Structure 1
Amino acid sequence: MKTYHIRFYENRWIYYCISLAVVLVGLICNVIFGTRLDIQFTGGAVLSYSYSGEIETQKVERAVESSLGRDASVSVNKNVRSAESGQVSNNVTISLAGTNSITPADQTAVLKALNKAYPNEKFESLKMDSVNPSMGQSFFLKCIVAVLIAFLLLNLYIAARFRKIGGMAAGFFAIFALLHDVAMVYFTFIIFRMPLDDNFIAVVLTILGYSLNDTIVIYDRIRENRRLMGPKTPYRVLVNTSINQTFTRSINTAICTFLAIATVFVVGSVYQLNSVV
């Protein structure tokens, strides 16, 4: 396995500045635009319509928002086969977040706006579902509790397992690294104006898993190198050597994960599987 010779310790301030820049930009965007929560956490209504031909999601969003005066999120499902009639059609789903209910008059206004924007696409109303925010909030709280318990157990494990290289302090900084990674994910969603939904929860839990794995591997390498190189080895040499020795493994793991995700994305795009894209 190839061993790199990157001076991580000497360049640490560069990495600090990159992280700080992402945090500052994220905070500014958060103050200006706010945090977008998906309908699963805010509640609301989901309207489904069938249509023929081709439509643009942004144009549909503008038509709905102008007719109702509230934000809307649109997703398109093409070539959907109906379970009842067996016919294949195109469906568009419009999500309206908020506690305000959708009246029959609102549904009629949306349908008129769609037919006005696309007079030849023959929009027809399929169904309207109300979304209770309590389920999404309950799931979110359970995830937070699970993460807090994991942090506590991680601190205890590292304190016992790596007591020769810091013990409880090593556990604290491992948790700090995990919180940093979660913050990077959160601010990425904020900067690119992506709503916080179940995908955000999945991304955070995945990042925590990979980050935790890398942290344990690097700590283990530092402990072994301290034993092999002696306790008088300079800290920067110990850190650089340990991270470089595990760097190839981290890159290979990231590449394998990317290939798996890319495969799912390509297959989902080709076969119009919006649930996995």
Structure 2
Amino acid sequence: MNFNKGDNSTRFNFVAKSRHFFIFSIVITILGVLSLAIFGLNYGVDFKSGSSVDIVVTKDLSGKKAEIEKFIADSGLGAPATTIGADRITLRFDNVLSDVEEHKLKDGFAASFDKDASMEVYIVDVEIARELQFNALKAILIASLGIIIYVSIRFEWRFAIAAIVALLHDAFIVISLFSILRLEVNLPFIVAILTIIGYSINDTIVIFDRIRENMRFAKVKTAADLAKVVNDSVWQTLSRSINTVLTVVVTALCLFLFGGESIKLFALAILFGLASGAYSSIFIASPLWLLLKRGQKPKQGSKVSTTS
């Protein structure tokens, strides 16, 4: 794809329309905050106490979900969240199963559905769940801090602020969607968030690097000149951004459609993050840097500087 051809006057002006994109992102953020305040997140067993039971079956039981749920209910084990694939069944219990309950589940399942099935039970207590939540949050904060330091040194602090706002926007969009859709949040979800942060900052840095290169040769005397540099830089990197996101989307979509049950939510989070990351890199990060740059007081007799 080549988006660099044609008269500049006929091209879409990202800078001129930036207010609309800012408003759209603010509305989405408010909806996300409301959803998190009202519904919260649907934490999986990784982040709350309980038992996770993975059953590898030797025959397809995907059409017997109702029977399996009735068997578990009749056994007095509660009502776990049940995910049934062609060769694997996952049960998420809010309570920690005792040894007696584990044996009861294993023996009953073998007798009723698949005598050759193998079963593994993972238990997470309250303290471990809290520690995992804390470590997940710490990992995201450390990653964000590292990005701020790197971008501030490599570019300037205005680029760093714009980049962090964009990647936090992406992470929050994915978290909000998981809250609204009541999708399970577990450790693979945290891995997906960190992956999204890495993708988002990479895409944003490519645009920022082009802005910096163009600023070296542009005669920037007015705010309009600065806006033109930003708009031209986005257009010059647009084909790269679109081609990159489409390539990764195909891979993530294949994981979602053909991957195992345990990886589907990870792939779905990546798909959400890819869309949000491409959007924020083009429509949020660069216009936000422009707003910050316009507030800079240039030295008298010189053009606008790109370093702080």
- State the shift of 1:243 in Å: 1.2
**Partner letter of residue 158 of structure 1?**
V
- State the shift of 1:151 in Å: 2.6
Task: Find the counterpart in structure 2 of residue 264 from structure 1.
Answer: 255
Among 8, 14, 19, the alignment partner of 1:13 is 19
Q: How does 1:4-83 map to 2 (within 5 A)?
A: 5-47=11-53, 54-55=62-63, 57=65, 72-79=80-87
Among 150, 166, 185, the alignment partner of 2:143 is 150
More divergent stretch after superposition (206-215 vs 168-177): 168-177
Number of residues of Structure 1 aligned to a counterpart in Structure 2: 252
1:201 corresponds to 2:190: yes
**Partner letter of residue 238 of structure 2?**
F
For the structure 1 residues 52 and 213, does the alpha-carbon distance in structure 2 shift closer, same or farther, using more than 3 Å as the test? closer
For the structure 1 residues 24 and 42, does the alpha-carbon distance in structure 2 shift closer, same or farther, using more than 3 Å as the test? same
Among 181, 201, 209, the alignment partner of 1:192 is 181
1: distance between equivalents of 2:206 and 2:106? Answer: 55
User: Do the aligned partners of 2:188 and 2:263 also contact (CA within 8 Å) in 1?
Assistant: no
Q: How does 1:98-109 map to 2 (within 5 A)?
A: 98=95, 101-102=97-98, 104=100
Task: Find the counterpart in structure 2 of residue 236 from structure 1.
Answer: 227
RMSD: 3.5
2: distance between equivalents of 1:184 and 1:224? Answer: 31
2: distance between equivalents of 1:185 and 1:43? Answer: 24
Alpha-carbon deviations, 1:117-140, whole Å to 9, x = none?
xxx964779657241245555455
State TM-score, norm by structure 2. Answer: 0.67
User: Do the aligned partners of 1:68 and 1:106 also contact (CA within 8 Å) in 2?
Assistant: no
Task: Find the counterpart in structure 1 of residue 90 from structure 2.
Answer: 93
**Partner letter of residue 35 of structure 2?**
C
Alpha-carbon deviations, 1:183-219, whole Å to 9, x = none?
1111011111112112311221111011111221111
For the structure 1 residues 55 and 110, does the alpha-carbon distance in structure 2 shift closer, same or farther, using more than 3 Å as the test? farther
2: distance between equivalents of 1:68 and 1:237? Answer: 68
For the structure 1 residues 126 and 226, does the alpha-carbon distance in structure 2 shift closer, same or farther, using more than 3 Å as the test? closer
Is the partner of 1:45 in helix, strand or coil?
Answer: strand
Is the partner of 1:236 in helix, strand or coil?
Answer: helix
2: distance between equivalents of 1:141 and 1:151? Answer: 15
More divergent stretch after superposition (224-233 vs 252-261): 224-233
Among 192, 198, 206, the alignment partner of 1:217 is 206
Q: How does 1:161-200 map to 2 (within 5 A)?
A: 161-162=154-155, 167-200=156-189
User: Do the aligned partners of 2:46 and 2:124 also contact (CA within 8 Å) in 1?
Assistant: yes
Alpha-carbon deviations, 1:219-260, whole Å to 9, x = none?
111111112222225232122111111111111111110122
- Structure 2 unaligned residues grouped into runs of 5+: 5-10, 265-308
Identical counterparts, % of pairs: 27
For the structure 1 residues 152 and 23, does the alpha-carbon distance in structure 2 shift closer, same or farther, using more than 3 Å as the test? closer
2: distance between equivalents of 1:146 and 1:95? Answer: 25
